Amino acid sequence: MKDWRLNRLICWLLLPAVFCTAAPTRQESRIPSILTLENAVRIALENQPVIRAARANINLSEAGLRQARSNFYPNINLTASGSHIDGYFVFNPSFPARKQAYNNYSTTVQLQQIIFDFNKTFPRVSAGKYGLQATESDYQSTRDAVIMNVQLAYFQIIRASRIVRVTESIVSQAEEHLKQAKAFNRAGKASQFDITRAEVDLANSNVNLLSAQNTEQLARVQLKNAMGVQETTDFTIPDTFRVEDFTVSLDSVKQIALNNRPEIHAGMARINENRAVVKAVKSQHLPNLLATGSYQLNGFEFPLQGRWNVGLMLNFPVFQGFNIAAQVEQAEANVDASEADFETLKQQILLLVEQFYLQLDEAGKNIKATGVLVKQAEENLRLAQTRYTSGLGSPIEITDAMVVLGNARITNVQAVYDYNVALAQLRRAMGVPLQQYSNN
């Protein structure tokens, strides 16, 4: 009976721990059946672990700032002790040791407050503030990068879907051409070679279709990874490729990037943080003026007897083995390194801005050129089919015309894709996030 009660008690004690262990720490956002770009970005911002890591870095910086500010407040310590002593004690060498037993109790409250530290704390607080600004900018940079990665993965699905449709149309054309070749063969207008050639074309088209479909499935997996989810639910993507006019000049784009990129803000904050650290380290050569006080209760039995004391303490560092000088040198080197990194960062940003700007311009021109190419290829296929129907053409002309048309359509899809990608990358390089994605 006692064993049964003991087992029941153990089960009740372990039950909360089991539930706490089994309970999930977070719930993944569900992917809707029709996934828009806005929903994909929202899901990514809710689930991507890099977002949580960036937020944790902000919390870390906030804790460091509070730690720096703690020097403004007093330190209060409470200690209490009790001991029992029992044994032989020698009170006088002329007499034998006597056995003695007694208790000893002590309680002390100590207070220490910095009155004046010759401007040691303020630079460290300033460094903490700049460090917090840097991590907040890093957080925004991480968000922008996640948004861009989702956009690129989303665009890859649209491109792959369009290529699948183009390839399906090529398969349909190949099937129609095979039917036509068989009909002409039965009528004595075409040889067996025409049928074999049409069958080869259809087989090649089916192989290309399988490859295009596999590419689309891979793009879907990459989008799920960009969103930070592992759901197996299928979803459809609206075909949202647009060709938006971008009329901002290159010089204006560069200036916008230097004003808005969160990495620029983070770099400037880190320079200011390191400069504040230099001031804080140099201030270690200066003294501290502290007010101290304590109240103590002690005795061998209760009630204990109390006493208190207050005073001032001046702490003046005279020599620390060149430790402070080495710290100053290290802090100044960090300032030089952060300034050099900042200049490198600006050059890289300007390079990316110009690169994506030129890619956007090239893609816009390619869209127009490939549009003309598609129309010409469609006309070329129509003429080849007309010639073959009238008995003047060969199946090779049909094959070549279908290949040219398929390549032209795919090239046009690629040009539209390149334009959307370049626009997303340019906006990211400018540090101008889309308004509908800017909410936390």
DSSP-assigned states of every residue in 378-426 = HHHHHHHHHHHHTTSS-HHHHHHHHHHHHHHHHHHHHHHHHHHHHHHHH
Greater model confidence, 345 or 300: 345
* DSSP at 321: T
Burial 291-310 (b: 16+ CB within 10 A, else e): eeebebbeeeeeeeeeeeee
Q: What is the pLDDT of residue 1?
A: 45
Q: What is the pLDDT of residue 434?
A: 61
29: confidence class by pLDDT, cuts 50, 70, 90: low
Q: What is the mean pLDDT of residues 118-147?
A: 93
Spell out the long-range contacts of 61-67 with Cβ–Cβ below 8 A and sequence spacing 24 or more.
Answer: 61/128, 61/131, 61/132, 61/134, 61/135, 61/136, 62/132, 64/128, 64/131, 64/132, 65/125, 65/128, 65/129, 65/131, 65/132, 67/128
11: confidence class by pLDDT, cuts 50, 70, 90: very low
259: confidence class by pLDDT, cuts 50, 70, 90: very high
Q: What is the pLDDT of residue 6?
A: 43
Greater model confidence, 189 or 72: 72
Q: Is the pLDDT of residue 58 over 60?
A: yes
DSSP track, 263-303: HHHHHHHHHHHHHHHHHHHHGGGS-EEEEEEEEEEEESSSS
Q: What φ, ψ does residue 228 adopt, rounded to 5°?
A: 80, 25
Q: What is the mean pLDDT of the chain?
A: 85
Q: Is the pLDDT of residue 19 over 60?
A: no
- Compute the distance between CA of residue 19 and CA of residue 276 in angstroms, rounded to an integer: 48
Q: What is the pLDDT of residue 26?
A: 52
Which of 134, 71, 41 minimizes the C-alpha distance to 290?
71
CA–CA–CA angle 398, 400, 404 (5° rounding): 115
At 186, list the tokens. Answer: 């039965």
Q: Which residues, in sequence order, are CB contacts of 146 under 8 Å at separation 6+?
A: 41, 44, 45, 48, 50, 51, 226
CA atoms within 13 A on the CB side of 260: 17
Q: Is the pLDDT of residue 25 over 70?
A: no
- The 10s digit of each residue's pLDDT in 198-230 is 888 889 889 989 999 999 999 999 999 999 998
Share of the chain above pLDDT 70, in %: 90
DSSP track, 324-351: HHHHHHHHHHHHHHHHHHHHHHHHHHHH
Q: Is the pLDDT of residue 366 over 70?
A: yes
State the CB neighbour count (10 A cutoff) for residue 52. Answer: 14
* DSSP at 182: H
Task: Report the amino acid identity of residue 385.
Answer: Q
CA distances from 384 to 281, 375, 380, 389 (A): 82, 14, 6, 9
Which of 248, 238, 215, 175 minimizes the C-alpha distance to 414?
215
Q: What is the mean pLDDT of residues 334-361?
A: 95
- Compute the distance between CA of residue 356 and CA of residue 427 in angstroms, rounded to an integer: 9
CA distances from 289 to 51, 111, 119, 134, 293 (A): 44, 14, 12, 33, 14
Q: What is the mean pLDDT of residues 375-386?
A: 85
Quick one: fold of 30-74+117-287+323-437?
Answer: Outer membrane efflux proteins (OEP) (1.20.1600)
Q: What is the mean pLDDT of residues 183-209?
A: 82
Q: Which of 93-97, 299-303, 391-395, 401-405 has the lowest mean pLDDT?
A: 391-395
Q: Is the pLDDT of residue 3 over 70?
A: no
At 223, list the tokens. Answer: 């989008």
Which of 51, 43, 50 minimizes the C-alpha distance to 27?
43
- The 10s digit of each residue's pLDDT in 141-182 is 999 999 999 999 999 999 999 999 888 988 888 888 788 778
Q: What is the mean pLDDT of residues 263-284?
A: 93
Q: Which of 190-194, 335-339, 408-412 has the lowest mean pLDDT?
A: 190-194
Q: Is the pLDDT of residue 192 over 90?
A: no
380: confidence class by pLDDT, cuts 50, 70, 90: confident
2: confidence class by pLDDT, cuts 50, 70, 90: very low
At 403, list the tokens. Answer: 């290949």
Q: Percentage helix, strand, coil, to 5, in the chain?
A: 70, 15, 20
Three-class DSSP category at 258: helix
18: confidence class by pLDDT, cuts 50, 70, 90: very low
Tokens 């899901």 correspond to 43
Q: What is the pLDDT of residue 135?
A: 96
Task: Report the amino acid identity of residue 154.
Answer: Y
Burial 91-125 (b: 16+ CB within 10 A, else e): eeeeeeeeeeeeeeeeeeeeeeebeebeebbbbbb
